[in-house]
């Protein structure tokens, strides 16, 4: 029986641990533990000298196991495992005892915290005592990446991955690429025409030999694991052959059915057969079967009658494609809080109260009013426009607690562009703060305030109501301590941004989480903003949280870099903390087989259970199920846990 | 975020790894209460381990009733990895409850543990 020679290293973490835990007392207590042959402490174990201390001890004292009592293993387990491996010790014989997040950071009483830190460290010594050397499995992977979402973040991610030589499948639920950026008139702070800077990217994506674009498509099911995900994609029928459609628009003229236009945010209508906007990619019309009079049986077919190229095909049907990908990037984007959720601001019922994206469409030269700022109710040019910031944001009592980040900037942009469009018009902005942190943003705000004579009033709008043909806005100016009442022609609400409603279905299929507010959850808010907690799944863009275009693009590139790091590896490493079956005591009951969520277990030819290590994720559900104890988790066996429990509770 | 220091964590990958034997071992060795924390239903990091935990704990609590151990000494709580405040609150509430229940009868019998 090889001798147990465990080294314990206690970190002070500066004062993070040492302020509350008496690290010297921990060192002394651990010296008494059988099998522990060296105990040391240091200010910052994760630093080079700290790691060197561990490496030296491994070599000089021929350690068979290491416990580093410090922060969470989520922080530095890889650090110490790597250091140990370089020093010649199997990395799976290294454990971390969390005496920071689980102890010094959450307790005040120094005596109690020290006693607990000793218990925690002793418990992990017990675990290491039972650990076996393990070797990570090397698995193959396909050379393909999936991007979910064809907005600016998703397109950037797709382009970056494709440029490095890997295949990309880009899935977009709308009939066209572009996302919300395609709906914007101009972008702050440069006032670039949004579609002018976006459409070249859309074209690049559609032309790239390594990118396969699937629009009007949705993710149905995802199975597998990092490096080998199998994705079922439903491609919905557009009933129009994009190779034949020449955008003549005759079908649209002939179609008798109209519905509110999603692209124009309901300000105008579109036909059942439509193209969302002229620069849509794919460059083709789409027949919305829900708006159409009926396809099965065919009730109308006026569009097909006038279609010269014969592009319309009523026999198209949904297709399910099954694709294997190594990595997935989720860029599902945002949606605005609907006006119906804001009863204090009219609840969507008061005419001439619109939201940010609707105002973009009014501003847009290709929009429903040709760029003229006309009131939706009577089409008159608006001479007095009130802009209400923070509509539904920063309001935990009634709506969303968060700041939607971009509204201060786009409201200033809106007011500025309005003043250019209607030089004799008045613009009033009700704000709480003005947040303008990006490059050139503050200067843009100053320009709006000083050069464009936009009236900025610091105060929240309490409510608004219709009075005749005006909208009366009740606000306040906190700097002069006055209640303000404005009779506006048009009110633009900078409504709160939320994760797009389609996010939930995607996250469920991928088994990644959203935070409490509904946005895609990143692995670490500071250090891992574009990774999810699931290996191989990355996040980017406004779906992860409200952000402007440069940030969305940057995240797209960031997520792409993470995916490429995976794709570029020869083989992927699969953690070896998986299930092992002791065939000599397995009774072949087979209950574990049905318990495994990954289908990793089966009964083999000899009638005993067998684990496919590549599919095993190490959850241990089968171990808890097994009546004989034949199924055990490597390095977290029932035996180890029993010893750990005993030591954790032993008299202090 | 602070909470009472009388709780010792044992980290497992999934609440589905926790079986009745482990909980009983903890009670035997001196724990006055055992708290099992798992992902919210529908959000299990390993798909559905937490559903199995829920069933196991239900049965275990019934069995504990039969042998005269207050089932409130074993608590299953859905706390996700990001819910630090909820964890702290749970520990506080559980500690208070265990204090009113007093020392575990199992610990008194086996003489396991301390204070």
Residue A2: per-residue pLDDT? 76
Omega before residue A297 within 30° of 0, cis: yes
Chain centre to alpha carbon of residue A409? 23
**Nearest residue in B to A74, CA atom:** B81
With an 8 Å Cβ cutoff, is B46 touching chain A? yes
Average pLDDT over residues A75-94: 97
With an 8 Å Cβ cutoff, is B5 touching chain A? yes
Residue B107: per-residue pLDDT? 79
Q: What pLDDT band is residue A1 in, cutting at 50, 70 and 90?
A: low
Q: Do A511 and B56 touch (CB under 8 A)?
A: no
ipTM metric:
0.94
Quickly list H helices, A317-449.
356-363, 407-421, 441-446
Average pLDDT over residues A427-435: 97
State percent of chain B over pLDDT 90: 74
Digit-coded pLDDT (tens) for A334-357: 999 999 999 999 999 999 999 999
Long-range contacts of A345-350 (CB under 8 A, 24+ apart): A345/A388, A345/A391, A345/A461, A345/A463, A345/A464, A345/A491, A345/A493, A346/A464, A346/A465, A346/A466, A346/A471, A350/A464, A350/A465, A350/A466, A350/A471
Average pLDDT, chain A: 96
Residue A114: per-residue pLDDT? 97
Helix (H, G, I), strand (E, B) or coil at A365: coil
| Shortest Cα distance, chain A CAs vs residue B18, angstroms | 6
Residue A479: per-residue pLDDT? 93
What whole-number distance in Å separates Cα of residue A465 and Cα of residue A344?
9
Closest CA to A331 of A48, A139, A524, A551: A551
Average pLDDT over residues A185-212: 97
Mutation target vs A (from B2, B8, B56, B78; most A CBs, 10 A cutoff): B8
| Minimum-distance CB partner of A649 among B2, B26, B80 | B26
| Minimum-distance CB partner of A621 among B1, B16, B43 | B16
Q: Which residues of B touch A513 (CB under 8 A)?
A: 43, 80
| Minimum-distance CB partner of A106 among B3, B18, B30 | B3
With an 8 Å Cβ cutoff, is B21 touching chain A? yes
Calculate the alpha carbon distances from A648 to A396, A422, A451, B60, B113 in Å.
41, 74, 69, 22, 9
Q: Do A619 and B14 touch (CB under 8 A)?
A: yes
**Nearest residue in B to A114, CA atom:** B5
| Shortest Cα distance, chain B CAs vs residue A117, angstroms | 9
Please, are residues B15 and B53 in contact by the beta-carbon 8 Å criterion?
A: yes
Q: Does the structure show a pLDDT above 50 at A652?
A: no
Per-residue b or e along A542-569, where b marks 16 or more CB atoms closer than 10 Å to that residue's CB: bbbbbbbbebbbbbbbbbbebbbebbee
Residue B111: per-residue pLDDT? 67
With an 8 Å Cβ cutoff, is B71 touching chain A? no
For chain B, give every domain's residue range: 15-103
Digit-coded pLDDT (tens) for B21-59: 999 999 999 999 999 999 988 778 787 889 999 999 999
A651 or A281, which is more confident? A281
Q: Which residues of A touch B29 (CB under 8 A)?
A: 645-646, 649-650
Q: Does the structure show a pLDDT above 70 at A412?
A: yes
Residue A614: per-residue pLDDT? 86
Q: What pLDDT band is residue A229 in, cutting at 50, 70 and 90?
A: very high
Average pLDDT over residues A463-483: 96
Q: Do A651 and B17 touch (CB under 8 A)?
A: no
Average pLDDT over residues A184-203: 97
Token look-up 């946005």 returns A519
Q: Does the structure show a pLDDT above 50 at B8?
A: yes
Q: Do B82 and A120 touch (CB under 8 A)?
A: no
Q: Do A649 and B82 touch (CB under 8 A)?
A: no
Residue B1: per-residue pLDDT? 82
Per-residue b or e along B61-92, where b marks 16 or more CB atoms closer than 10 Å to that residue's CB: beebeeeebbeebbbbbbbbeebeeebbebbe
Tokens of A47: 């630093």
Q: What pLDDT band is residue A454 in, cutting at 50, 70 and 90?
A: very high
Residue A516: per-residue pLDDT? 81
Choice among A326-340, B29-43, B99-113 with the minimum mean pLDDT: B99-113
Average pLDDT over residues A585-603: 93
Choice among A389-403, A504-518, A578-592 with the minimum mean pLDDT: A504-518
A464 Cβ partners below 8 Å, 6+ apart? A344, A345, A346, A350, A353, A388, A471, A472, A473, A474, A491
Average pLDDT over residues A376-402: 97
Query: What's the whole-model pTM score?
Result: 0.83
**Nearest residue in A to B82, CA atom:** A515
| Minimum-distance CB partner of A620 among B12, B112, B115 | B12
What whole-number distance in Å separates Cα of residue A22 and Cα of residue A27?
9
| Minimum-distance CB partner of A621 among B17, B25, B31 | B17
Choice among A155-169, A479-493, B77-91 with the minimum mean pLDDT: B77-91
Q: Do B10 and A623 touch (CB under 8 A)?
A: no
Residue B9: per-residue pLDDT? 94
**Nearest residue in A to B53, CA atom:** A621
Q: Do A633 and B21 touch (CB under 8 A)?
A: no
Q: Does the structure show a pLDDT above 60 at B114?
A: no
Tokens of A70: 């410090």
Q: What pLDDT band is residue B113 in, cutting at 50, 70 and 90?
A: low
Choice among A56-60, A427-431, A516-520, A548-552 with the minimum mean pLDDT: A516-520
Q: What pLDDT band is residue A194 in, cutting at 50, 70 and 90?
A: very high
Average pLDDT over residues A248-264: 97
Around A430, how many Cα atoms within 13 Å sit in the side-chain half-sphere?
28
Q: Which residues of B touch A619 (CB under 8 A)?
A: 13-14, 16-17, 45-46, 49
Q: Does the structure show a pLDDT above 50 at B115?
A: no
Average pLDDT over residues A316-331: 98
Q: Do B16 and A652 touch (CB under 8 A)?
A: no
């Amino acid at each position: 029986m090889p001798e147990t020679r465990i080294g314990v290293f206690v970190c002070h973490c500066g004062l993070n641990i040492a302020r509350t835990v008496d690290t010297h007392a921990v060192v002394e207590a651990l010296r008494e533990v059988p099998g522990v042959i060296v105990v040391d402490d240091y200010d910052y174990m994760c630093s080079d000298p700290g790691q060197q201390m561990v490496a030296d001890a491994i070599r000089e004292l021929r350690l068979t196991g290491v416990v580093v009592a410090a922060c969470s293993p989520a922080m530095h387990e890889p650090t110490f495992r790597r250091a140990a491996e370089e020093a010649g010790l199997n990395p799976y014989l290294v454990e971390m005892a969390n005496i920071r997040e689980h102890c010094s950071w959450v307790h005040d009483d120094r005596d109690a915290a020290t006693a607990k830190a000793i218990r925690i460290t002793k418990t992990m010594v017990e675990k290491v005592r039972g650990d076996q050397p393990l070797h990570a499995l090397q698995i193959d992977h396909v050379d393909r990446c999936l991007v979910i979402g064809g907005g600016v973040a998703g397109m950037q991610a797709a382009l970056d991955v494709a440029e490095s030589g890997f295949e990309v499948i880009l899935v977009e639920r709308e009939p066209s690429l572009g996302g919300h950026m395609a709906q914007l008139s101009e972008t702050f702070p440069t006032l670039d025409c949004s579609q002018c800077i976006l459409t070249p990217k859309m074209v690049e994506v559609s032309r790239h030999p390594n990118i396969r674009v699937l629009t009007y498509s949705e993710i149905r099911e995802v199975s597998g694991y990092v490096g080998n995900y199998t994705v079922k994609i439903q491609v919905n029928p557009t009933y129009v052959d994009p190779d034949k459609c020449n955008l003549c628009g005759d079908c649209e003229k002939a179609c008798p059915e109209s519905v509110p236009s999603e692209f124009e945010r309901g300000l105008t209508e579109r036909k059942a057969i439509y193209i969302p906007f002229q620069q849509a990619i794919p460059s083709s019309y789409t027949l919305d079967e829900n708006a159409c009079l009926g396809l099965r049986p065919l009730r109308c077919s006026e569009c097909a009658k006038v279609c010269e190229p014969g592009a319309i095909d009523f026999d198209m049907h949904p297709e399910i494609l099954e694709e294997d990908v190594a990595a997935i990037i989720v860029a599902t984007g945002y949606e605005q809080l609907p006006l119906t959720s804001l009863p204090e601001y009219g609840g969507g019922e008061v005419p001439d109260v619109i939201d940010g994206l609707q105002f973009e469409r009014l501003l847009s030269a290709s929009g429903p009013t040709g760029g003229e700022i006309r009131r939706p109710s009577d089409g008159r040019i608006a001479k007095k426009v009130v802009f209400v910031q923070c509509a539904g944001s920063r309001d935990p009592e009634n709506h969303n607690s968060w700041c939607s980040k971009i509204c201060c900037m786009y409201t200033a942009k809106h007011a500025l562009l309005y003043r250019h469009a209607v030089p004799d018009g008045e613009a009033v902005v009700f704000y709480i703060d003005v947040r303008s942190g990006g490059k050139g943003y503050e200067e843009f705000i100053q320009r709006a305030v000083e050069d464009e004579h936009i009236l900025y009033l610091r105060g929240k709008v309490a409510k608004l109501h219709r009075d005749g043909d005006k909208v009366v806005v009740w606000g306040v100016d906190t700097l002069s301590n006055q209640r303000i009442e404005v009779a506006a022609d048009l009110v633009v609400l900078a409504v709160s941004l939320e994760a797009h409603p389609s996010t939930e279905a995607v996250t469920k299929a991928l088994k990644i989480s959203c935070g409490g507010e509904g946005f895609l959850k990143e692995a670490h808010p500071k250090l891992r903003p574009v990774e999810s907690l699931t290996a191989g799944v990355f996040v980017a863009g406004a779906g992860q949280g409200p952000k402007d275009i440069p940030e969305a693009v940057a995240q797209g590139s960031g997520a792409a870099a993470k995916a490429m790091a995976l794709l570029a590896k020869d083989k992927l490493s699969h953690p070896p903390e998986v299930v092992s079956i002791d065939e000599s005591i397995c009774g072949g009951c087979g209950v574990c087989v049905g318990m495994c969520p990954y289908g990793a277990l089966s009964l083999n030819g000899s009638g005993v259970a067998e684990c496919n290590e590549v599919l095993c994720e190490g959850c241990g559900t089968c171990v808890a199920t097994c009546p004989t104890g034949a199924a055990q988790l490597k390095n977290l066996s029932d035996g180890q846990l029993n010893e750990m429990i005993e030591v954790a509770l032993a008299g202090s | 975020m602070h909470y009472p220091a009388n709780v010792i964590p044992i980290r497992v990958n999934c609440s589905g790894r926790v079986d009745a034997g482990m909980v009983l071992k903890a009670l035997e060795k001196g724990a006055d209460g055992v708290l099992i924390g798992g992902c919210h239903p529908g959000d299990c990091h390993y798909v559905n381990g937490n559903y199995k935990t829920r069933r196991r704990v239900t049965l275990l609590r019934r069995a504990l009733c039969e042998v005269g151990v207050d089932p409130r000494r074993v608590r299953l709580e859905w706390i996700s990895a990001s819910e630090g405040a909820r964890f702290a609150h749970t520990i506080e509430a559980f500690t208070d409850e265990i204090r009113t229940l007093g020392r575990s009868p199992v610990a008194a019998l086996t003489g396991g543990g301390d204070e």
